[in-house]
Amino acid sequence: MTQSNASNAKSATKPTGKLAVLIPGLGAVSTTFIAGVELVRKGLGKPIGSLTQMGTARLGKRTDNNTVMIKDLVPLAGLDDLVFGAWDVVGEDALTVAKRSAVLSEKDIDGAADLLRSIKPRPGIHDPAYVRELPVDNAMKAATHVERVEQIRADIREFKKTLGADRAVMLFTASTEKFHQPGKNHETLKDFEAAIEANDPSISPTMIYVYAGMKEGCPFINGTPNYSVDLPAIQELAKELCLPIAGKDLKSGQTMMKTVLAPALKARLLGLRGWFSTNILGNRDGEVLNDPEAFHSKEVTKTGVLDTILVGEDYPDLYSDYTHKVSIHYYKPRGDEKEGWDNIDLTGWLDYPMQIKVNFLCRDSILAAPLCLDLVLFMDFAMRNHWRGIQEWLSFYFKCPMAAPGLSPEHDLFIQLTKLKNTLRVAAGEAPITHLGLEYYGDDLPICVP
């Protein structure tokens, strides 16, 4: 191993004490995440799918044979450091939610039952203008945006006190809100705060959570399509408070496959005529998305992926005129075991047509849970590194990742992974990996001079 590894990481301070993971939205994804962490801590499960727990990074040249675990490369919080709190408009504790969601087996739920039972959600923010398809029985009583902000801030302080946590990260996994276009109230922090004071209806529940959380010093992860960290006003607040932000909409199933297959088409210069995607799922997320206005929010994040990978302006003969359709159908019997179908119509040599068919029988929350874990640990690392604003290096985890103003976000999964690992290498004082192809030869390049 080279001299600079986790014990000599150049910037971030080592984590000390407990890290509170505060979650608006105590549903199938969050309870699967929490239960999984507890099972791994007890040695009753493996953290499959988690880059922070099972991933590796090569350091130096291939000939150095130096590969380390990512969790040994940079100082990340350990699983034993994690404690949990939540808000929800449904008052069920995490154990009840996990049983109702039917993602995990009875044996696994029993293995995490004590922790799940202890997590009772504080009243959540509910606005029926944004989310309609929910059985609400635990809504916050506050009457104005200002009161809601102050209640969330007070909850965060109380969570940290009761959980014995030194610091906190907010992970937003609540229901998808109906689609709405950002406006003037979201452009500057001054306008945003004025809209909160005025109790303006353009301020959604998600926006209140992100604003309140950041005012209490919490990095914010948006795992949904809802507007929050992508708003200019919130990005301004992140810079002002020196807080990292990341989002939006966790990339787990069908969209993850698109960010694998679309780069392959582009790499081989195969043309695209159309890409049709449809899903069925029966969990609460599917029930909420049964509202067409809520589905449109998801549709925007799912359909934007191809546009930045298969760019028609760069490849007019291949990608200037293709059809991309996405649909999601609520089908109660399927539960959390989502199924996605993709039909891809492509063209090859001399414009001859071909097709690819994909049938992904996945488990929505099982795919999302390790992403939640990685994002929590990486965002805490970014906070201790004093990295502020958009964390573009975490694009790997999102359907609709953010980039600095004026730049297009990167959607290619493999480029995203390279960016993520190179960021960690540099943070640890190591050189980034370029995959140039000449590293084996050093100064003795394989060139024959006549």
Radius of gyration of the chain (CA): 22
Q: Name the CATH superfamily, with its identifier, for domain 6-250+365-427.
A: NAD(P)-binding Rossmann-like Domain (3.40.50.720)
CA distances from 412 to 195, 307, 397, 417 (A): 37, 11, 11, 9
| φ, ψ for residue 70, nearest 5 deg | -60, -35
Q: Distance between CA atoms of 373 and 387, rounded to whole angstroms?
A: 19
- Residue 430 per-residue DSSP state: P
Q: What pLDDT, on the 0 to 100 scale, is given for residue 345?
A: 98
Summarised one tens digit per residue, pLDDT across range 217-246 is 999 999 999 999 999 999 999 999 999 999
| φ, ψ for residue 138, nearest 5 deg | -140, 40
- Residue 439 per-residue DSSP state: T
Strand order in the sheet with 18-24: 122-123, 82-88, 18-24, 165-172, 220-222, 244-247, 389-390
Average pLDDT over residues 359-363: 93
- Residue 293 per-residue DSSP state: H
Q: What pLDDT, on the 0 to 100 scale, is given for residue 336?
A: 84
3-state secondary structure 74-103: CCCCCHHHEEEEEEECCCCCHHHHHHHHCC
Q: Are the CB atoms for 142 and 205 separated by under 8 Å?
A: no
For the four alpha carbons of 72, 76, 77 and 80, in that order, the dihedral sign comes to negative
Q: Which region, left, alpha or beta, applies to residue 208 given φ > 0 means left and ψ of -120 to 50 means alpha?
A: alpha
According to CATH, the topology of domain 254-361 is Dihydrodipicolinate Reductase; domain 2 (3.30.360)
Strand order in the sheet with 271-281: 323-330, 271-281, 339-347, 353-361
At position 29, the amino acid (one-letter code) is: V
Is there a shared CATH topology between the 6-250+365-427 domain and the 254-361 domain?
no
Summarised one tens digit per residue, pLDDT across range 390-445 is 999 999 999 999 998 888 899 999 999 999 999 999 999 999 998 776 655 555 55
Average pLDDT over residues 269-291: 85
Q: What is the mean pLDDT of the chain?
A: 91
Q: What pLDDT, on the 0 to 100 scale, is given for residue 5?
A: 36
**For the chain, domain boundaries:** 6-250+365-427, 254-361
**132 vs 376: which has the higher pLDDT:** 376
